A and B are shown apart, each in its own frame.
Chain A
Amino acid sequence: MAPFEHPPKSDCAGEAGARTCPYSPSPPLGRRTPGVVAAGLLLLVAGVGPPAALAQLPTYGVGRPPTVEEVKAWDLTIPPDGQGLPQGSGTAALGKPIYAQRCASCHGDKGEDPKYRVLTGGRRTLTAAELPKNVDWLLGGEPALTIGSFWQYATTLWSYINRSQPFDEPGSLRADEVYAVTAYLLHLNGVIGENDVIDAKTLPQVKMPNRDGFVPDARPDVGKTAGTRKR
């Protein structure tokens, strides 16, 4: 692409062109009127800082505000509190046939296939001397860290399936289907019952078995600088 092909633009230009600016960006310094600069100097000389609101104004005024639709289309990541989960619901019973059709070819009928990523099993294996391993000369001995044995939050599962699965058709499941497949995987891992309803309210309330299994970074953890990490 051409590195730079802009005609001179107004302060709030960009894609929106001459669209009315919802906020008033301060012009670049070079275009400030001498009076404004002088007033600023006067404030500084007087020992008074610029008003807080003025300090918050954008410096460059490049870009435009997004539309509500633009934010909604991309704002898909779901945090642990479930903020942003859409309407809809599902159960494991409803999710089973969807999973069989859209997911099982890669992950196995019950999420047991280690070909790409094993999704089920492995409970209570995290401290065992011999974790189940998928030994690969490039990946190394990989412990079986499944949804049931390892994942912290059910919202992560929903968010990832919704945004990125199935592998060959990412983002193609409807909200009800995502709730149902999520419920099925939680059920396969023994976290919820077959007919428990998973929706925007219940999903964040699911407590994953390994919810409390995480600790902060402790590095440097070897050598003479061990334990010197500043927090």
Chain B
Amino acid sequence: MAIEARNVTKRFGEFVALDGVSIKVESGSLTALLGPSGSGKSTLLRVIAGLEVADGGDVYISGKEATALAPQKRGVGFVFQHYAPFKHMTVWDNVAFGLQIRRRPKSEIRERVDELLELVQLAGLGKRYPAQLSGGQRQRMALARALAPEPEVLLLDEPFGALDARVRVELRSWLLRLHDEMHVTTIFVTHDQEEALELADSIVVMNKGRVEQTAPPRQLYDEPANEFVMSFVGPVNKLDDAWVRPHDIELSHEPNGSTSTREAQIERIVRLGFETRIELVRDDGERLYAQVARDEADELELAKGDIVYVRTRRARTFSA
């Protein structure tokens, strides 16, 4: 186990940021802390890094108790949401910082920094200052800086939060490749469930300072532990007491004789590339939406105002 938090509690005045949180992160894995803002995910990351001191509970890094250890001594690399570049230093000096304070030989530092700049695709930009880089470049510089002292654990706080959508998607697949190459145990914080599902081996869903569920992405999506996970991870409709994913809704023009179908009227049809979203209103006024492949939608020849019959698959109910 590379990282373990046991029953960690943290309060900021009256606000309970972490309420008895326990997580285990396997060595070499890529783990996401997923949750809405205020769920405690960033605080947990900062407690693991030693930037916040927990009020209660223990933290273990690589099997060693680290609860009271200063951040300097934890061997973690941390990438801040806004990258925290050292503004008065060049890109090269930023990356070299962690090695210089360890008094590594100059030739070794030069070799390692050049290698890292190559790795994060910033070779040739070493003489620039952080203010002269784009957001994505700054993020990669922060990553190279964190990786330079060869940390056992890499912690990323909302690593893609401050980037625009296109750069974000590029960096995601790049980070995945990097992780495959380096195999550093990595934890990243995100509020974007799509990002967590795409990148992580394991997802910790947090809400109001507690862990709701820890599972691999597929299991999290298919077998959510409770209503919160169901509604936070992936799209969802709530119908009466049941929850159903929009792609688990079948539409037809005929009632099909089944008892489980209900009538609904098409309110709007939105074509999103290869998928089509059909927004519906049931006879009792409940709203829901279905997601079907474009070809399927074309075959059905749906139009706004049509009355269709709705059948749900894999609907879930949770006991409160």
Do A and B pair up? The answer is no
